[in-house]
Amino acid sequence: MEEDRGRLLRFFKSLSEETVMLRFLRPIRFFEPEVERILDKNRTPVSVIASKEGLVIGSGEVYRIKGDEGELAVVVHDNYRRRGLGTLMMYMLFTEARKKGFTKIHAYTHETNIPMKRLAQKFRGKLIGMIEEDMYDFLFSVEEAIEAGTRVLREKGIVVKPVAEALNKHSL
């Protein structure tokens, strides 16, 4: 836990200003409260981290809005973009969210955010309105997103399996 706190903090501090704006939708100077929020399971029921050689290179969360409805946020470090990590993390967020009982998930996305609009399209997010004047509100059905994501990952040759199942296969 203490280790995760430090690693996440270092990750967020390493992001460019532009990336911080796209991920948090506002400028942020001190990331400590954000990290505490992410590590608090009551406030952030779903959290996934991608790491490489001990460093966090991507982070994704689902926050609860109300009942079975959530809001997702995802960010991949600028140096690791366009390799499919965002797609994989979105898929993991939806599968973990389903386990926690979420059925609908929003993603608030700046209108200029091409990669996130592409991800919304891939996971069948529907544009249901605008938040303020320049922010899209995409709504995902968790079931549909998982179905679409499974197909997308298969096309990319990525197979996602529970760890136990994958280990079993290797020991045969």
Torsion angle, alpha carbons of 31, 36, 42, 44, to 10? 40
Residue number with CB closer to ligand COA (75 or 146): 75
Residue number with CB closer to ligand COA (82 or 99): 82
**Do 57 and 78 touch, CB atoms closer than 8 A?**
no
Q: Which of residues 115-144 bind ligand COA (CB under 6 A)?
A: 115-116, 118-119
From 44, 47, 59, 87, residue interacting with ligand COA (rule: CB under 6 A): 87
- How many CB atoms are closer than 10 A to CB 44? 18
Q: Is 109 in the site for ligand COA (CB under 6 A)?
A: yes
Distance CA(123)–CA(72), nearest Å, equals 13
Q: Is 148 in the site for ligand COA (CB under 6 A)?
A: no
**Do 62 and 127 touch, CB atoms closer than 8 A?**
no
Minimal distance in Å, beta carbon 97 to ligand COA?
14
Q: Cα dist. 78→19, 117, 148, 161, 164 in Å?
A: 8, 17, 25, 27, 32
From 41, 43, 52, 83, residue interacting with ligand COA (rule: CB under 6 A): 83
Q: Is 98 in the site for ligand COA (CB under 6 A)?
A: no
Q: Please give the size of the binding site for ligand COA, defined by CB under 6 A.
A: 22
**Do 38 and 23 touch, CB atoms closer than 8 A?**
no
Q: Is 73 in the site for ligand COA (CB under 6 A)?
A: yes
Q: Is 167 in the site for ligand COA (CB under 6 A)?
A: no
Minimal distance in Å, beta carbon 84 to ligand COA?
5
- The DSSP result for 9-35, as a single string, is HHHHHTS-HHHHHHHHSS--S--HHHH
